[in-house]
Amino acid sequence: MLAFGAGEPPMNALGTAMAISVQPYFAKDLGVDLLTIAAAFGLVRLIDMPVDPILAIFMDRTKTRLGRYRAWMLAGTPILLASVWMLFMAQKGIGLGYLIVWLLVYALGTSIVGLARSAWSANLVTRYDQRSQFYGYLGFIGVAGALIVLETPTIAGWIPHRIHLPNNVQLMGWVVLLMTPLGLGLNALLVPERINPDAATNRYALRDYWDICKKPDVLRLFVSNFALALGPGWMGNLYVFFFTAARGFTEKDANTLLSVYILAGVIAAPVIGWIGGRFGKHTTMIASTIFYSVGLCVVPFLPQGNFLLAIPVMVWTGFMANGFGLMNQAMMADVGDEVRLEQGKERMGLLFAFTSLSSKLASAGAVMISYPLLKVVGYVPTLAEHNTPAALTGLTAIFIIGPIFWVILGGVCFIGWRLDAVRHAEIRLELEARDAAMLAQSASGGGVA
């Protein structure tokens, strides 16, 4: 579990930097228009939409000496690193074409590495309660990456002034470039990859994939993951603007508060994982969305620039938000077991392609919807706190209402969820009996049907 978790910090660091710092860097420091940024992210997502399912089909059918998902993770790493270099080290003068090209490369790299790791993780732990705890521990380990990125202003203070690292984004890029090969390398070297006996029957059948696409549980998880990624992602894209311009915090204090938000996940991830295993993942998810929304409602009423009063609110919202992704992954892994029982084939990669696709659409949607709204209310990033009162009020409304709407929608998706611990235990018993029979048949020389 620790060895597999070594891949979490660099991926979390990259995701946090892209959501919190890189897009504002393009707008504030490089002078890229908000609508240009929104258009680039939107167009990339439209082009990228079919990539994840196609990759998943090939992943689920891959057989190499290195394994199945391990081989894909290693192949995707250099692609991901190339995109990090070109995006984080971008200079003034970049335009729509530059952003589209390198965001496409970034999307391909994250798709390959993220899909491979998600599908691999689902086969490491199979029990209902242990699976939610496992994803909780992965979240616990991954928090380190987000914290390292958020503390780059402090790290930047230790660097000689002759080294120019604008807005700390280039330093974030170097951190990701160093962490990624180390973390994913440990993952690849130390973690075994279990391949289910029925992988030998894994042949392409269009009807099987259509059955998955229209499966109600898969559709629920797709919509919920989209909404629960879009809500916090929306908040992340506007965070620097809102906390510095509308709430009167310095950028350093805003980053420290965001570190508090992330640090809450150190406790939240294993705790929520345990609660999900004990009381049901869907119930835990619904409760988390309600409590998160209540906490976010408090933010506009905090005194301007009051660091101490902001801390408990950030702890509360950060704690609740930490359960969204890990519970969704754990439930998709449960659905993967059910699909394998129904179809007799491994489809874990394809199922997590739906999760990945919804997350990507959410990350683009957060920019495509929120940034044009800022233009509508008249907010100008380069003016910061010197924007008009009406623009700052509009920024506050967009920052609060958007995330609450999407998060509540994500929670509603789990009303009536039926794949609970009892049903999953029945599925695992049938799968294990079938796997044992296939292994026995293979050992006796009968081959695999």
* Whole-number pLDDT of residue 370: 86
The 10s digit of each residue's pLDDT in 78-131 is 999 999 999 999 888 888 999 999 999 999 999 999 999 988 888 888 888 888
CATH homologous superfamily of 2-190+217-443 equals MFS general substrate transporter like domains (1.20.1250.20)
How crowded is residue 283: how many other Cβ atoms within 10 Å of its Cβ? Answer: 16
Res 200 pLDDT > 60 = no
* Whole-number pLDDT of residue 267: 82
The 10s digit of each residue's pLDDT in 22-53 is 888 888 788 888 888 888 888 888 888 888 88
Please say whether the beta carbons of 157 and 266 come within 8 A: no
User: Residue 181: exposed, middle, or buried by beta-carbon count in 10 A (0-12, 13-18, 19+)?
Assistant: middle
∠ Cα 112 414 330 (to 5°): 40
Of 3-17, 129-143, 204-218, give the lowest mean pLDDT range.
204-218
Which candidate, 175, 198, 190, places its Cα nearest to that of 1? 190
* Whole-number pLDDT of residue 416: 92
Looking at the DSSP assignment, which residues form a beta bridge with residue 64?
67
Top-confidence residue, 219 or 364: 219
Of 277-286, 307-316, 380-389, 395-404, give the lowest mean pLDDT range.
380-389
The 10s digit of each residue's pLDDT in 356-394 is 888 888 877 887 888 889 889 998 887 777 888 999 999
- Where does the pLDDT of residue 167 fall: very low under 50, low under 70, confident under 90, or very high at 90 and above? low
* Whole-number pLDDT of residue 314: 92
